[in-house]
C-alpha cells in the first residue's frame, strides 16, 4: 500500500528566493493531493493515484543540488548527454528553491514519501524500471527509507539483469542493517538475499557469454578479410594469474 506516514529518517538551475508562506501553502496542497492518491490507491485505481502523487510532487520545491564530486566534474560529455536523454522520458522535476533548513527537511520528507508512492503505483502497473527510478529519487531525500529500499529491490528483481540484481543485493544488505533485529521482515529479507545470489550469478554468466559472443562475431567479421577467425587464437592460463595467446592453424 502507498504510504501515508513516513518514519523520520539536481538540478543545474540556480536557486531563487521563494516566500515561506507560499511554500507552506504548496505543501498543504501537496498533502491534499497525496490523500486523494491514497484513496485511489486503496481502491486499486493505480493510474489515478499516480497522477495525484505526481501532481503533488510538482507542488513541492526541488531537492537542493549537491556540489559536483571531482569525478563528476571530469569531462564525460557523452554520459551526461545520455542521462539527459533518459530523463527527458520522465516527468519534469520541480525546480530547486532556497528555503530554510527546517522547511527543507519537511519538503524532503514529503518528496521521499511521494516518490516512494509513485514507485508503488508503477510496481502495480508493471513499470519496474520506472519504479526503480522513483524509489531512487525517494532515497536521495531519505537514504534510510525502508519502503523505498524494499520497492526498489523488488523492482530490480523483476528486471532480472545482472546490474539490477546486483543493485537488489545491495538494497537487501542495507535493509538488514536498518531493520530492527526483532522485525519480522529480517527473516524475509535474508531469504530474499539468499535466493537472489544464484540468480545474480546466472545473469552475470549469461550476459558475459552474450558479450563474448558479440565480440567474437565482430572479430570474425574483421579477421575473415585475412582468411582467419577468432578460432585461430587460443587463450590459455600462463600460471601467473593471466593468460597467454597462441596462434594455431
Per-residue pLDDT of the chain (249 residues; tens, 9 = 90+): 666 544 333 332 233 456 788 999 999 999 999 999 999 999 999 999 999 999 999 999 988 766 555 554 454 444 433 433 333 344 555 555 555 588 889 999 999 999 999 999 999 999 999 999 999 999 999 999 999 999 999 999 999 998 899 999 999 999 999 999 999 999 999 999 999 888 878 777 776 766 666 666 666 667 666 666 666 666 666 666 665 666 666
Cell of 86: 533518459
Helix (H) or strand (E) holding 233: strand 233-237
Cell of 127: 513499470
Is the CB of residue 3 less than 8 Å from the CB of residue 117? Answer: yes
- Helix boundaries (H) for the chain: 20-42, 46-59, 77-87, 101-124, 128-141, 146-159, 162-178, 185-223
- Find all residues with CB under 8 Å of 193, minimum gap 6, and list them: 169, 172, 173, 176
In this prediction, residue 220 carries a pLDDT of 61
In this prediction, residue 72 carries a pLDDT of 43
Amino acid at each position: 500500500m502507498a504510504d501515508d506516514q513516513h518514519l523520520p529518517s539536481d538540478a543545474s538551475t540556480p536557486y531563487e528566493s521563494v516566500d515561506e508562506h507560499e511554500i507552506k501553502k504548496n505543501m498543504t496542497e501537496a498533502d491534499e493531493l497525496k490523500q486523494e492518491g491514497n484513496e485511489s490507491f486503496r481502491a486499486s485505481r493505480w493510474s489515478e493515484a499516480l497522477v495525484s502523487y505526481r501532481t503533488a510532487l510538482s507542488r513541492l520545491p526541488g531537492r537542493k543540488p549537491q556540489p559536483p564530486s571531482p569525478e563528476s566534474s571530469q569531462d564525460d560529455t557523452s554520459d551526461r548527454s545520455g542521462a539527459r536523454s533518459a530523463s527527458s522520458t520522465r516527468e519534469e522535476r520541480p525546480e530547486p528553491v532556497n528555503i530554510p533548513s527546517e522547511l527543507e527537511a519537511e519538503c524532503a520528507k514529503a518528496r521521499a514519501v511521494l516518490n516512494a508512492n509513485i514507485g508503488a503505483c508503477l510496481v502495480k502497473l508493471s513499470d519496474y524500471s520506472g519504479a526503480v527510478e522513483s524509489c531512487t529519487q525517494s532515497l536521495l531525500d531519505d537514504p534510510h527509507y525502508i519502503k523505498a529500499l524494499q520497492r526498489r529491490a523488488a523492482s530490480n528483481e523483476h528486471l532480472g539483469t545482472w546490474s539490477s540484481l546486483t543493485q537488489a543485493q545491495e538494497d537487501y544488505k542495507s535493509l538488514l542493517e536498518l531493520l530492527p533485529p526483532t522485525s519480522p521482515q529480517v527473516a524475509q529479507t535474508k531469504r530474499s538475499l539468499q535466493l537472489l545470489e544464484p540468480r545474480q550469478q546466472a545473469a552475470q554468466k549469461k550476459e558475459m557469454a552474450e558479450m563474448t559472443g558479440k565480440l567474437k562475431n565482430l572479430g570474425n567479421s574483421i579477421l575473415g578479410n585475412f582468411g582467419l577467425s577468432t578460432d585461430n587464437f587460443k587463450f590459455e592460463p600462463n600460471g601467473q594469474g593471466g593468460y597467454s595467446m597462441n596462434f594455431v592453424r
